[in-house]
Structure formats: structure tokens, C-alpha cells
Amino acid sequence: MRPLQAAGLVLLLALALAPPAAAAGPAPALEFEATALDGSPFSGRSLAGKAVLLDFWGTWCAPCVQAFPKLQRLHEDYGDRLSVVGLAYYSGEPEDIAATAAEHGLGYTILAGNEETLEMFDVFAFPSYVLISAAGEVVFSRAGQVSDLYEQVAAHLGR
């Protein structure tokens, strides 16, 4: 084999084995869809640029409801750098979800979740939390009661 052919073969092999270039736009973690309580579609892509804490919950889930004060506090303390988003599941009509949010004074975004989003984030228990960095990468995923959730999120945000 001539040197030029060998060099071409090596270059071709290197290109074939190279990882694909990253696509422009939101990271995969923000590629989810949900439904706002008014029935309009909601795209996770709209959250790009801030860290995002997803809260997978249900009106019927006592540990979920017990976490509301921590989530509201995160929203109030870090709202300039963090979007807290509650995704409600198996919780009745949007009016029922909105009533629960109002009863607990939740000021962050509340949505009706869907099965695709559960699958995307591998959620199998309620409550579950997924923290996504401002770059759109999953920082952590936790299932069940997380007693130090506020502290974990604050540590990621640099207090």
C-alpha cells in the first residue's frame, strides 16, 4: 500500500470512529413536553438558560405535599438561577391540581405530566426530583423523600 493511500485510510478510519458533533440547541434533558394547567402545551426547551429542578408529584402523595415548602423556598431563594417545575401525575383534572397548588401557595410552574416524561427521566416513584444544570445536563435524580433536597440544590447553585 502506498503511503498516501495508507494516510487516507487512517484518516477515514479516524473520522468513522470519532464521536458525533454536538447538535446546537437545548440539551436532551430539556427535550420534554407537558401540559400547562390551562391546557396549552409546554416545552421544556423554554427553560433553557437556568438550572431546572423537576418535581414529579401527585395530589394523593403525602410525601410530595410535605416537600412543597422546600420547593417553594428554592423558588423564592434561587428564582433568578433556578426554575422549579412541578409535574403532577394521576391527580385528576387540571382544576384539582391548580387547587392543590393554590392551597399550598406554590408560586412556581405547575404542569400536568405525561407518561413520556416519566419514561424519559426513568421516574418510578413519587416524589422524584431531577436537577438539570443551566447547560442542560442532568446533575442528579432522586426518588422518594429527600430530606436535604434544599441543601443539595443550593450546593449545586453555589448558594
Q: 138 - beta bridge partners? A: 132
Kindly state the average pLDDT of the residues 60-69.
Answer: 98
pLDDT score, position 20: 42
The model's pLDDT over 68-97, given as tens digits with 9 standing for 90+, comes to 999 999 999 999 999 999 999 999 999 999
The model's pLDDT over 4-23, given as tens digits with 9 standing for 90+, comes to 554 444 434 443 444 443 33
Domain definitions of the chain by residue range: 25-157
Share of the chain above pLDDT 70, in %: 82
Q: Would the pTM of this model clear 0.85, i.e. be above it?
A: no
Residue with cell 478510519: 13
58-91 as b/e: b if 16+ CB within 10 A: bbebeebbebbebbbebbeebeeebbbbbbbbeb
Amino acid at 81: R
Q: Which CATH number applies to 25-157?
A: 3.40.30.10
d(C-alpha 25, C-alpha 155), whole Å: 27
Q: Give me the sign of the Cα torsion angle 113, 115, 116, 122.
A: positive
Region for 39 from its dihedrals, namely left if φ exceeds 0, alpha if ψ lies in -120 to 50, beta otherwise: left
Dig out the grid coordinates for 130 from the structure.
Answer: 431531577
Q: Which of 27-31, 123-127, 141-145 has the lowest mean pLDDT?
A: 27-31
- How many other C-beta atoms can be found within 10 angstroms of the C-beta atom of residue 153? 23
